[in-house]
Amino acid sequence: MTMKIGSKIKIFREIKGISTKEMAHRLDMSLAGYSKIERDDVDVNTERLTRIAEELGTKPEDIIAFDERYVQNNYGENSTNQLGVIHNQFPDKLISLYEDKIRLLEEKIAYLEKQLN
């Protein structure tokens, strides 16, 4: 299931350690109005998304492209509450299938090279 924009904004805000009340204040909005954004009760126009991204220290396209499957929250004792991107978070079965496919393709290449010689 694809995350909606409000949910993505909420994650960015939480990682930055900004309260909903503070975020609403920064955006010159009511707390109820801002909360509706994070609950996906209202649509966010481009101008509003740009303003939210500025307050979160990121770009609108980073919020839009955010995919929680490839990100972990680093909330340890010595953490700075930053996003940690995991580039290899594929299921073992999928990795095995790709490795098998690569092996078969390598064997096919070797066979074809042998045929050419």
Domain range holding 52?
5-85
Q: Do 70 and 36 sit in the same domain of this protein?
A: yes
* Alpha carbon distance 39, 106 (integer Å): 49
pTM: 0.59
pLDDT higher than threshold 80 for residue 67: no
pLDDT higher than threshold 50 for residue 74: no
**Per-state percent for the chain, helix, strand, coil, to nearest 5:** 60, 5, 35
Name the band, by pLDDT with cuts 50, 70 and 90, for residue 95.
confident
Cα-flanking dihedrals φ and ψ of residue 83, to 5°? -75, 135
End-to-end CA distance of the chain: 51
pLDDT in tens, 5-62: 999 999 899 888 899 999 999 999 999 999 999 999 999 999 999 999 999 999 999 8
* Alpha carbon distance 37, 39 (integer Å): 5
Q: Do 102 and 76 sit in the same domain of this protein?
A: no
Q: CATH no. for residue 74?
A: 1.10.260.40
- What is residue 33's three-state secondary structure? helix
**Total number of domains in the chain:** 2
